[in-house]
Amino acid sequence: MLQKPRGTRDFLPEEMEQRREIEWRMRKCARGWGYREVCTPTFESQELYTIRSGEGIINEMYTFEDKGGRKLALRPEGTAAVLRMYVNEGKVLSKPIRWCYLSDCYRYERPQKGRYRQFWQFGAEQIGADTPAGEAEIILLANDLLKASGVTFDLHVGHLAPMKHILRDLADGDKKAVMALLDKHNFEGLKNYLDSINASGLYESLEKLAGCRTIEEAIEICGDFPGMERMAELISVLDSQKLEYKLDLGIVRGLDYYTGMVFEGFANNLGAENQIIGGGSYRLAHLFGGEDVASCGFGIGFDRVMVSLGEFEPERSPVVSVVYTPDVKGRAFEVAAEFRKAGINTELNLLERGMGAQMKHAARTSEYVAVIGNREAEAGTVTLKNLESGEQKEYSLDEAVAEVK
| Residue ranges of the binding site | 77-79, 107, 121, 125, 253, 257-258
> How far is Cα 102 from Cα 204, in angstroms, rounded to an integer?
41
In angstroms, rounded to a whole number, what is the distance separating the alpha carbons of residues 134 and 64?
A: 38
Amino acid identity, residue 177? A
Residue 376: CB atoms within 10 A of its CB come to: 22
The answer to whether 28 and 55 have CB atoms below 8 angstroms apart is no
> What does the alpha-carbon distance between residue 18 and residue 38 come to, in Å, rounded to a whole number?
22
DSSP string across 104-170? EEE--S--BTTB-SEEEEEEEEEES--SHHHHHHHHHHHHHHHHHHT--EEEEEEESHHHHHHTTTS
5, 74 Cβ separation under 8 angstroms: no
CB-based contact 74:41 (threshold 8 Å):
no
- 112/104 Cα distance (integer angstroms): 18
**How far apart are alpha carbons 400 and 181 in whole angstroms?**
66
Residue 157 CA: distances (Å) to CA of 140, 153, 192, 372? 11, 13, 28, 61
Torsion-angle region of 215 (φ positive above 0: left; ψ -120 to 50: alpha; else: beta): alpha
Rounded CA-CA distance 352/180 in Å is 65
In contact, 367 and 320? CB cutoff 8 Å: yes
Q: Are 138 and 237 in contact (CB under 8 A)?
A: no
Containing 329, the helix (H) or strand (E) segment is helix 329-341
CA distances from 35 to 78, 120, 239, 404 (A): 15, 19, 23, 36
Residue 347: what residue type? E
**Long-range CB contacts (within 8 A, 24+) of 175-180:** 176/256, 178/202, 178/206, 179/252, 179/256, 180/252, 180/254
- Residues annotated as binding site for L-histidine? 77-79, 107, 121, 125, 253, 257-258
CB neighbours (10 Å) of residue 244? 9
